[in-house]
Amino acid sequence: MCLILFAWQPEAEYPLVVVANRDEFYQRATRTLTSWPDSPIVAGRDLQAGGTWMGVTPEGRFAAVTNYRRPQDMGQAFSISRGSLCQDYLESDLSPEDYLRKIGPDAMKAGGFNLIIGTRTQLAYGTNRYPGKNDEPEWHCQSALQAGVYGLSNELLNSPWPKVLSGQKKLKQQLQQPLSETGLLSIIQDTFLADDQLLPDTGIGLEKERFLAPAFIISSETYGTRASTLLIRDQAGNQTLIEQSWYPFAVTGQKTRVYMPNGEAAVRSYQ
């Protein structure tokens, strides 16, 4: 995942609403949104490193991960796959707080990541690239996020990147009216490129910053937004997931819809 926007409002009609884009190389082997045959997980699946970038279980466990962009990490080999963290949490019965405590000692064995995990009653956040002493990365977590609208890309939670700020604003606007699947997905199909002076400087050079700046990346035949995902969970625990797959230059791929009544198996359909 390279952009996750989510509203966490435990007392609302829809306690959790998530819209997210996965940006990746098109050649990376991937399975689209489905129920995993060997697991309670409902998610897409990374067939190269294993795991997933975003998934749920029928009981309401939720996990999503983004890379943390740090040039020093590029080209390094890490022993823990970021996607495996989502899978590991979803298959466990640990609370979000206990899971973050569990992975903390080994967090640096993974490439830079931001991890959002939760249940029907709690959301938590962890990152292994929090700037510590002398800006050296360290493990940091928040075991209970407060109600609010959040944005996460390839830096820390709520970092003021243009696509994060714009996405949060648009999600808040969508939440002020009857929920529209089309309207929610349109938030992350935005190709707007902010002015250079507003772009982050993550050490990769201005040309690459421009390429990666839009919420929806379409300007390459090798890398771009491969999937847009929407998750809506209502107060009764019923969950709806929609995943729109994309080919290079925003050519439309398969659209998958999954509905999970609270605690029950997923019902999958295609459009």
Tens digit of each residue's pLDDT (9 = 90 or more) over 139-185: 999 999 999 999 999 999 999 999 999 999 999 999 999 999 999 99
- Kindly report the CATH number assigned to the domain that includes residue 242: 3.60.60.10
Tens digit of each residue's pLDDT (9 = 90 or more) over 172-230: 999 999 999 999 999 999 999 999 999 999 999 999 999 999 999 998 999 999 999 99
- What rounded mean pLDDT belongs to the chain? 96
% helix / strand / coil in the chain, to the nearest 5? 25, 35, 40
Answer yes or no: is pLDDT of 1 > 80.
Answer: no
The domain tally of the chain equals 1
113-118 sheet: strands from edge to edge? 30-35, 42-46, 54-56, 62-67, 113-118, 123-131, 137-142
Answer yes or no: is pLDDT of 264 > 90.
Answer: no
For 37, the domain range is 3-159+219-270
Whether 123 maps to a domain, the answer reads: yes
